[in-house]
Amino acid sequence: MAKVTLIPTQTPTLFLEAENITPDVFAGKNAQEIAALHAFVGKTTVTLGDYFTVEGEGGQAAADTTIVINGDVSRVKYIGMKMTAGEVVVNGNADMYVGSWMAGGKITVNGDIDAFAGLGMTGGELIVNGNAGNYLGAAYRGDWRGMQGGEIRVSGNAGSDVGTFMRGGTIIVGGDIDVHVGTHMEGGTIIVKGDAKSRVGGQMVKGTIYVYGDIDVMMPGFQYRNDVDLEVDGEEGHFALYEGDMGERHPKRKGEVIYGQLYMKY
Amino acid sequence: MTEYLIKNGFVYDPIQGINGDKVDVAIKDGKMVDAGDVTKPTIIDATGMTVMAAGVDVHAHVAGPKVNVGRNFRPEDKLFNAAAGSGLKRMEGGFSVPTVLRTAYLYARMGFGFSMEAAMPPLYARHTHEEIRDTPIIDQGALPVFGNNWFVLEYLKENEIENTAAYIAWLLNQTKGFGVKCVNPGGTESWGWGMNCETVDDVVPYFDVTPRQIVSGLIAANEYLGLPHCMHVHGNSLGEPGNYEITLDTLKIAEDYSPQNDFGREVVLHNTHLQFHCYGGESYASKSFESKSKEVVEYINSVDNISYDLGVVTLDETTTMTADGPFEHHLSHMNNLKWANTDVELETGSGIVPFIYNPKTFIAGAQWAVGLECGLFIKDPMRAYITTDAPNAGPLCRYPRVYKWLMSAKARDDMLDNTLKYGDKIRERCYIGEIDREISLYELAMMTRAGPAKTLGLGHMFGSLKAGLEGDVAVYPYNPETDTDDPEKIEYAFGNAAYLIKGGRMIVKEGEIVDMGNKRTFWVDAKVNENPMVERDIAEKFRRYYTVTQNNYTVEGHHFVPNPYVIEVDATR
């Protein structure tokens, strides 16, 4: 596995939009070629070499390329955007759109990330060993296709609007979560191990949400069904099952109406 | 002005009967001239290329409020679909609802010179003209919608053709409109009462008038005025299985009329996006749905006063938008995606819904087949025009792909065998499998330039390379002698014109857009006798019902129509 190490040399005055930092683009390129790749600051075009020292070289294909970013990139957007294979490790904080539209491979961020991470993601793994921002695994503005596959695992807390229009895949948040979880959800799983605020599963049609802690205010569109014992993310638990959102349309499968499912842990 | 001489190309001009001959094409002072009349021309070498008059689009939705709402509520349509400006070009973006600039650039790349915006709500004519103004290069006109207009409904209930005509003339003048469009006649208004018109004899509530009376009356008024374009109808029950009977009922209304105009137009009714109106069966399921394109086109082949355009489904993700409000409501309940909707006061309505024509479903494939059948069954290609009802059945940029399917049986078979999941079912329920016709370049020139120009009443300006016509010429990198092996070459060539000359100016040079042209807005000024009753009705309706005054309604001045081209019609007789 070939390794490329990026070390930030300066903090951008605005923000660095660096959609080229992916194993797919780095594959087959040496340090010099990688440093010459373009990025944007505002309306100006810059190169990755202007902001990073590049060491090592990409592998033959994305799958055998690892990118390690050693340093704080909290002003760098789009890391791992659209990546299909390989690995990215960020040893620091990252800005918005980490792993957006990601289809495969693995991203590990040993720090916090900002909003829109895993946007419209269809596959792969995104691991955040810090906190995540708003719109994690959600849909792009206006789109109805949020996260469709893969897994996002956040150790800390996450912001609001997580999993909006989610259609598949799994989001696991170790800590607490802000308002609007799984709005318009049509599939997939969200596990919140801490507390959630209000509007969990609003306008949810299908899919599953687990909340281990408390929900501040329950949506009126959810109805209690029964208690169940389940194994979730490798742990046994006793849960109360609610179904909803009753205000929405709900498709039928084999004559049975399908609802979104909200499990609350006792 | 510069003179141009295009040499050595394979020229297709059905109006002059030129079928692939290598003749010289000359332009001087913005007009077509005989090759001998140019003295020091700039020579364009079109060796190995196809030369035609610039394309004329009879029906597309490219400017106005619903297009703009489509842009507003689909930010994701521009995601990964934008290009930075370069040279003269400014930034462009959007796929199914492109920005005005991309619309112009797309048309230029496809070698088009004129496009008709197919539905302008009169109340929002100012906005429509602002967008037309901001679309460079191509000449445009816009058709105001009349099929659910309160004035029209009230006059036609009593069969008052002269009053209807006087109102149409007034509205064309106020909105700087080009002709008479009619969408779901009566149905959109009925929907205000939660109803629709599903046959031509369903009565519109309150107004007590039927679609039959509306269509018939609008044709009569159109011919009374002698407008350049004929009545342009989008019939009732669009997209409903079994609707081909309503379509035939609507088309048969034209039997009572013959064209009256000074523009060489030979039809009285243009049925737009015929594909959506040729369905048999009772549902979209493969065991019920069937194509009735043959039945409908055979009827059109049997008469000589009807034209149509295809509305081919291109199997893309697109944005549907139409003044057919009830249809869009229905569609939003089918796919559960976003829905926007408007009631335009006394005049019309509209709806907008994103839609994915998924090649893995039977119905999208069948719709694709029906659209192509509509183009392949026609006997006289001068009366069948290639469109996608952009963006309803497919985005504008897919025209070249439609040409490919029409021109190559191999390309169609490839779709049926390899792309469509239910190819065999579609062969069974549609006619596509039994057609081996391939549209020739000569026929393509009829279906994309000569024909639409004639039906729009613009045959004296566009659609041919005859001396005296506008100097609008497209040169495509397609060699009819050597490029016939690969259908992909058709799609590439017609989407990437090597040259486009528009009004004598070179717009596209060696594939690059080099000039923003001198864009004109076409509208029709129809003179009628003074009509105090209609004048009083208009004043009365504005006072009592409209939320705007007449002063805020009229499209006037340089701001809205900076470069008008006015066609005058005199109906004072």
Q: What's chain A look like in SS3?
A: CEEEEEEECCCCCCCEECCCCCHHHHCCCCHHHHHCCEEEECCEEEEHHHHEEEEECCCCCHHHEEEEEECCECCEECCCCCCCCCEEEEECCECCCCCCCCCCCEEEECCCECCCCCCCCCCCEEEECCCCCCCCCCCCCCCCCCCCCCEEEECCCECCCECCCCEEEEEEECCCECCCECCCCEEEEEEECCCECCCECCCCCEEEEEECCCECCCCCCCEEEEEEEEEECCEEEEEEEEEECCCCCCCEECCEECCEEEEEEC
Task: Number of A to B CB contacts under 8 A, please give it.
Answer: 17
Structure tokens at B92: 């462009």
Would you state the pLDDT for residue A1?
A: 85
Pick from B74, B79, B86 the residue to mutate for testing the A interface (most A CBs within 10 Å).
B79
Q: Is residue B523 within 8 Å of B172, Cβ to Cβ?
A: yes
Residues in chain B closer than 8 A to A142 (CB atoms): 73-77, 338
Structure tokens at A258: 């399908």
Tokens 């299908």, located at residue: A206
Q: How far is A142 from chain B (nearest CA, A)?
A: 6
Burial of B233 per CB tally in 10 Å (0-12, 13-18, 19+)? buried
Q: Which residues are CB-contacts of B348 (< 8 A; sequence separation ≥ 6)?
A: B121, B122, B145, B147, B148, B149, B183, B188, B323
* Residue B298 three-state SS: helix
Mean pLDDT for the stretch of residues B222-240: 97
For B413-428, write each residue's pLDDT tens digit: 999 999 999 999 999 9
Q: How far is A1 from chain B (nearest CA, A)?
A: 31
Is B79–A249 a contact, with Cβ atoms under 8 angstroms apart?
no
Pick from A144, A184, A249, A252 the residue to mutate for testing the B interface (most B CBs within 10 Å).
A144
Residue B337: closest C-alpha in chain A: A144
Mean pLDDT for the stretch of residues B44-71: 97
Structure tokens at B504: 């004598």
Q: Which among B75, B77, B337 has CB closest to A144?
A: B337
Mean pLDDT for the stretch of residues B495-506: 97
Q: How far is A265 from chain B (nearest CA, A)?
A: 32
Residue A82: closest C-alpha in chain B: B80
φ and ψ at B392, to 5 degrees? Answer: -65, -55
Q: How far is B77 from chain A (nearest CA, A)?
A: 9
For B439-468, write each residue's pLDDT tens digit: 999 999 999 999 999 999 999 999 999 999
Q: Is residue B463 within 8 Å of B56, Cβ to Cβ?
A: yes
Structure tokens at A145: 């296709």
Mean pLDDT for the stretch of residues B252-271: 97
Eight-state DSSP code of residue B256: G
Q: How far is A195 from chain B (nearest CA, A)?
A: 31
Pick from A5, A171, A149, A19: nearest CA to A95: A19
- As a whole number of angstroms, the distance between CA B231 and CA B272 comes to 10
Q: What mean pLDDT, rounded, does chain B reach?
A: 97
Residues in chain A closer than 8 A to B75 (CB atoms): 140-142
Residues in chain B closer than 8 A to A144 (CB atoms): 337-338, 354
Model confidence at B557, pLDDT cuts 50, 70, 90, reads confident
Is A144–B338 a contact, with Cβ atoms under 8 angstroms apart?
yes
Q: How far is B74 from chain A (nearest CA, A)?
A: 6
CA distances from B252 to B164, B215, B492 (A): 21, 11, 39
- As a whole number of angstroms, the distance between CA B76 and CA B546 comes to 35
Q: Which residues are CB-contacts of B158 (< 8 A; sequence separation ≥ 6)?
A: none
The residue count of chain A comes to 266
- As a whole number of angstroms, the distance between CA B440 and CA B444 comes to 6
Is A140–B75 a contact, with Cβ atoms under 8 angstroms apart?
yes
Sheet holding A76-77, edge to edge: A44-47, A38-41, A16-17, A76-77
φ and ψ at A196, to 5 degrees? Answer: -125, 150
Q: How far is B100 from chain A (nearest CA, A)?
A: 20
- As a whole number of angstroms, the distance between CA B464 and CA B453 comes to 9
Residues of chain B in Cβ contact (below 8 Å) with chain A: 73-77, 79, 336-338, 354
Q: What is the ipTM of this complex?
A: 0.90
Find the farthest-apart pair of alpha carbons in chain B and give their distance in angstroms, rounded.
67
Would you state the pLDDT for residue A186?
A: 96
Is A142–B337 a contact, with Cβ atoms under 8 angstroms apart?
no
For A185-197, write each residue's pLDDT tens digit: 999 999 999 999 9
Q: Is residue B321 within 8 Å of B61, Cβ to Cβ?
A: yes
Residues in chain A closer than 8 A to B76 (CB atoms): 140-143
The CA R_g of chain A, rounded to the nearest whole Å, is 20
Is 0.90 surpassed by the pTM of this model?
Answer: yes
Residue B71: closest C-alpha in chain A: A142
- For chain A, which ranges sit under pLDDT 50? none
Residues in chain B closer than 8 A to A140 (CB atoms): 75-76, 79
Q: Which residues are CB-contacts of A18 (< 8 A; sequence separation ≥ 6)?
A: A39, A48, A51, A76, A77, A78, A79
- As a whole number of angstroms, the distance between CA B404 and CA B394 comes to 15
How far does chain B reach from its first CA to its final CA, in angstroms?
A: 41
Q: Please state, for a pLDDT cut of 90, what percent of chain B lies above it.
A: 98
- Name B566's bridge partners: B523
Residues in chain B closer than 8 A to A249 (CB atoms): 336
Mean pLDDT for the stretch of residues B475-500: 97
Model confidence at B1, pLDDT cuts 50, 70, 90, reads low
Q: Is residue B222 within 8 Å of B230, Cβ to Cβ?
A: yes
Q: Answer whether residue B170 shows pLDDT above 70.
A: yes
Residues in chain B closer than 8 A to A81 (CB atoms): none
For B386-403, write each residue's pLDDT tens digit: 999 999 999 999 999 999
